[in-house]
Amino acid sequence: MIGIKRDNHRRKPAVVRDRPEERDFVREVESVPGGETIRSCIQCGTCSASCLFASSMDYTPRMMILLTKANRRKEVLSSNTMWICASCYLCTVRCPAGVEITSFMHALESLAARDGDGKDRSAALKLYSAFMDSIRKNGRVHELGVMLDFYRRGNLLSAIKALPVGLALFARGRIPLKPIRIRAAKELAAIIESAESETGGAR
């Protein structure tokens, strides 16, 4: 639904020269939960070879770690790599150096969402934001509300393409019009808010 294209994507070349003005980026990543193990990377490429979506990424997982260690903050946080990550953990399981690559991707998501890097062009981030807004409001996901919110954020063409599927699901009673709100929705929203403030996440 988000429209990831595997075959036509042209991956960006990695630039590994250090940037003095961004010298503390690797430390910034290490300070976020999930980024603590990246210095152990030996650049073997096992993660990239294992990744099912590497061909759709601006930079492969191996290249993302390389760029992070080279303090290339702008390239890393404006890329689509962490948003395409499916969190299957195959790279983490296979890493011979014990680098928690999936957690590293989540750390980059937190930093990019907090700073707004790539926010306007990332469909994955828009869907994530719509999903979390539904959780905060209702305590659970309201599918129709999530998709309307997602398409409202600048995905009108995708909405038109998905309309036949949506109408078919609605006709079969698979998409409820009204959200079902749990009793402790406010308490759950407060828990989410507290967790995001501790990890540096953003709404």
| Tens digit of each residue's pLDDT (9 = 90 or more) over 155-169 | 677 788 888 988 898
Would you say residue 54 has pLDDT above 50?
yes
> Of 127, 135, 134, 136, whose CA–CA distance to 109 is shortest?
127
What average pLDDT does range 114-136 have in this prediction?
A: 77
Which pLDDT band holds residue 177 (cuts at 50, 70, 90)?
A: confident
The residue among 186 and 122 whose pLDDT is bigger is 186
Which pLDDT band holds residue 107 (cuts at 50, 70, 90)?
A: very high
Can you tell me which residue has the tokens 């073997």? 44
Measured CA distances, 115 to 34, 78, 105, 110, 200 (Å): 17, 10, 15, 9, 10
Structural domains for the chain: 20-115 (1.10.1060.10), 123-199 (no CATH)
Would you say residue 92 has pLDDT above 90?
yes
Can you tell me which residue has the tokens 């948003």? 83
Measured CA distances, 8 to 1, 56, 60, 76, 107 (Å): 17, 8, 15, 21, 28
Total-model pTM: 0.67
Residue 162 pLDDT: 85
